[in-house]
């Protein structure tokens, strides 16, 4: 049997994409709330368009999302029925500290997650908790400028201390920042950054990244001190970059592209800024604001495991003319003629998952955890059922590739949680129609629908995959 006996099969969601109830239980406003659906979504996410409050001209899908806040018992029961061993979810920071800088946490928010975790355990589901998944209390952005301000490290330390203390015994697996490398692409989501005129955008992003990296090291330290059983992971938006041709310049370019992403995990897992990044930052004239003990913190408190999302491989060329032709996805990539793509242009490459797993395992030699993978597709609900064979095909091929990485290549893998196990709001587009789930939720892109849940064909398929520990695909 390729997978460990205790392999953690499950599914993943994020608070801002499923919880809704944005004003309930004392929750404060967060960046993710003010990211609208429609043409302004991307500029806001990229920190290029300043939106810090709600208006009547836009539709904000996170405000209600799929209302997991009120449906969590029903949803977790469905996860339990599928046989989930783990459920990856995130904490909304502004439920615990509505403004982010209070001294005392909000009990109602803490209680909500305690109930959710207890509900998971009822079904033998181990929670896997992302501390920050693209969210930041709005007050920390308007008052402090988000993660570019070092003070955020202290607020984050306060947050994690509360979480690790309160949920000791209920939660063991923690991820510090979702897709930490996304800060370079969606800085408003990744770090609450709004790029002001005249600012050196890259310097702002790397300063914020430094603060997150240091905060992540602190979280690891605090987690282990509060409970030595705690396992803390980093989280990378992964997918190796291929060279467009075998021209050495293209190969070099693909290496540079991968390093943009590895940089974060090199720090979190190896404990120091890698040489290539130090040189590159120097060349660009970017000075990272290292405080006295930052280097020690990074060195002493590296992560226990490497988690990552994988949707696709990437492709690049050294020729700027060729590189203009990008395919879909947040990460700019060339169209790979050997691959098919989803309706959103995300290229489908199961073998790329095996390549990525091997690259990460070779580099870090720590257990891996695939915490996102899946196909965003348009589903048709007919008589209360969705025949989503395309989703089953996608997942089957990726699980096969991951099995090869474990069985043939010897990669140590802790678990697999497919993305959006229940339909939820898309992070990049704000759509509901970009569905990933085994469970269909009755809601459309304009916010209409009765939020009723329906099992798709993939529901029973995944149940069988879990029951057979990945043998019956």
Interface contacts to ligand BG6, rule CB under 6 A = 14, 17, 178-179, 237, 309, 372, 376, 419, 426-429, 434
Going from the C-alpha of 177 to that of each of 215, 241, 293, the distances in angstroms are 10, 22, 21
SS3 of residue 165 by DSSP: helix
Nearer to ligand BG6, 183 or 318 (CB): 183
Per-residue DSSP letter, 182: G
* Active-site residue (options: 179, 197, 201, 296): 179
Backbone torsions φ then ψ of 33, nearest 5 degrees: -65, -35
User: Does residue 372 have an active-site annotation?
Assistant: yes
* Active-site residue (options: 119, 126, 372, 431): 372
Residue with tokens 């996304």: 182
CA nearest neighbour of 152 among 110, 213, 62, 226? 213
- Cite the beta strand spans of 178-313 per DSSP E: 231-238, 241-243, 305-310
> How far, in Å, CA of 323 to CA of 277, rounded?
23
Shortest distance, position 420 Cβ to ligand BG6, whole Å: 6
CA nearest neighbour of 93 among 44, 140, 151? 140
Decide: 258 and 265 in contact? Cβ < 8 Å: no
> How far, in Å, CA of 34 to CA of 50, rounded?
10
Nearer to ligand BG6, 32 or 392 (CB): 32
Shortest distance, position 13 Cβ to ligand BG6, whole Å: 9
β-pair type (347-348, 453-455): unpaired
Shortest distance, position 426 Cβ to ligand BG6, whole Å: 4
Backbone torsions φ then ψ of 133, nearest 5 degrees: -120, 85
Nearer to ligand BG6, 14 or 401 (CB): 14
Per-residue DSSP letter, 195: -
The DSSP secondary structure of 296-358, one letter per residue, reads: HHHHH---SEEEEEES--EEE-S-HHHHT-B-SSSS--B--TT-EE-TTS-EE-HHHHHHHHH
Question: How many C-alpha atoms does 240 have within 13 Å on its Cβ side?
Answer: 19
Shortest distance, position 256 Cβ to ligand BG6, whole Å: 22
Shortest distance, position 430 Cβ to ligand BG6, whole Å: 9
β-pair type (173-177, 231-238): parallel
- Cite the beta strand spans of 58-98 per DSSP E: 86-90
Nearer to ligand BG6, 236 or 298 (CB): 236
Nearer to ligand BG6, 100 or 376 (CB): 376
Decide: 90 and 132 in contact? Cβ < 8 Å: yes
Shortest distance, position 36 Cβ to ligand BG6, whole Å: 15
Residue 73 Cα to chain centre, angstroms: 23
Nearer to ligand BG6, 149 or 309 (CB): 309
Per-residue DSSP letter, 30: B
Shortest distance, position 11 Cβ to ligand BG6, whole Å: 12
CA nearest neighbour of 290 among 273, 277, 303, 276? 273
The full length of the chain comes to 473
Residue 144 Cα to chain centre, angstroms: 24
Nearer to ligand BG6, 182 or 194 (CB): 182
- Provide CB contacts within 8 A for 320, sequence distance 6+: none
**Closest-approach residue to ligand BG6 (CB):** 428
Nearer to ligand BG6, 326 or 429 (CB): 429
Shortest distance, position 434 Cβ to ligand BG6, whole Å: 5
Nearer to ligand BG6, 105 or 437 (CB): 437
H-helix or E-strand spanning residue 71: helix 68-82
Shortest distance, position 105 Cβ to ligand BG6, whole Å: 25
Q: Would you name the residues annotated as active-site residues?
A: 179, 372
């Amino acid at each position: 049997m390729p997978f460990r006996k205790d392999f953690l099969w499950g599914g993943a969601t994020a608070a801002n994409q499923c919880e809704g109830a944005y004003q309930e239980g004392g929750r404060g406003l967060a960046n993710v709330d003010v990211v609208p659906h429609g043409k302004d979504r991307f500029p806001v996410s990229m920190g290029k368009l300043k939106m810090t409050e709600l208006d009547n001209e836009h539709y904000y899908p996170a405000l209600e999302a799929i209302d997991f806040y009120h449906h969590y018992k029903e949803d977790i029961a469905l996860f339990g029925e599928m046989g989930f061993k783990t459920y990856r979810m995130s904490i909304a920071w502004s439920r615990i500290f509505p403004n982010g800088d209070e001294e005392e946490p909000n009990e109602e928010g803490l209680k909500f997650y305690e109930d959710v975790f207890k509900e998971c355990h009822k079904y033998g589901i181990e929670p896997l908790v992302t501390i920050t998944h693209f969210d930041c209390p709005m007050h920390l952005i308007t008052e402090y400028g988000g993660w570019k301000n070092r003070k955020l490290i202290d607020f984050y330390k306060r947050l994690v201390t509360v979480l690790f203390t309160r949920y000791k015994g209920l939660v063991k697996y923690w991820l510090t920042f979702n897709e930490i490398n996304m800060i370079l692409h969606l800085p408003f989501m990744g770090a609450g950054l709004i790029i002001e005129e005249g600012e050196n955008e890259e310097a702002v992003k790397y300063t914020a990244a430094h603060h997150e990296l240091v905060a992540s090291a602190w979280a690891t330290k605090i987690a282990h001190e509060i409970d030595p059983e705690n396992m803390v992971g980093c989280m990378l938006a992964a997918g190796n970059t291929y060279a467009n041709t075998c021209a050495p310049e293209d190969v070099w370019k693909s290496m540079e592209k991968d390093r943009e992403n590895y940089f974060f995990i090199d720090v979190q897992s190896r404990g120091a800024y890698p040489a290539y990044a130090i040189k590159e930052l120097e060349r660009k004239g970017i000075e990272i604001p290292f405080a006295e003990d930052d280097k020690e913190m990074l060195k002493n408190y590296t992560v226990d495991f490497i988690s990552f999302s994988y949707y696709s491989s990437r492709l690049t060329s050294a020729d700027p003319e060729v590189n203009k032709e990008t395919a879909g996805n947040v990460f700019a990539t060339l169209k790979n003629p050997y691959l098919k793509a989803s309706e959103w242009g995300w290229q489908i490459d199961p073998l790329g998952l095996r390549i990525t797993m091997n690259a990460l395992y070779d580099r870090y030699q720590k257990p891996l955890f695939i915490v996102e993978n899946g196909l965003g597709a348009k589903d048709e609900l007919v008589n209360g059922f969705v025949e989503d064979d395309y989703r089953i095909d996608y997942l089957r091929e990726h699980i096969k590739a991951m099995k090869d990485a474990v069985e043939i290549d010897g990669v140590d893998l802790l678990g697999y949680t497919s993305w959006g196990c229940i339909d939820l709001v898309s992070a990049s587009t704000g759509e509901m129609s970009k569905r990933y789930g085994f469970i269909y939720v009755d809601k459309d892109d304009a916010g209409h629908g009765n939020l009723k849940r329906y099992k798709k064909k993939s529901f029973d398929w995944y149940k069988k995959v879990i029951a057979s520990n990945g043998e019956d695909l």
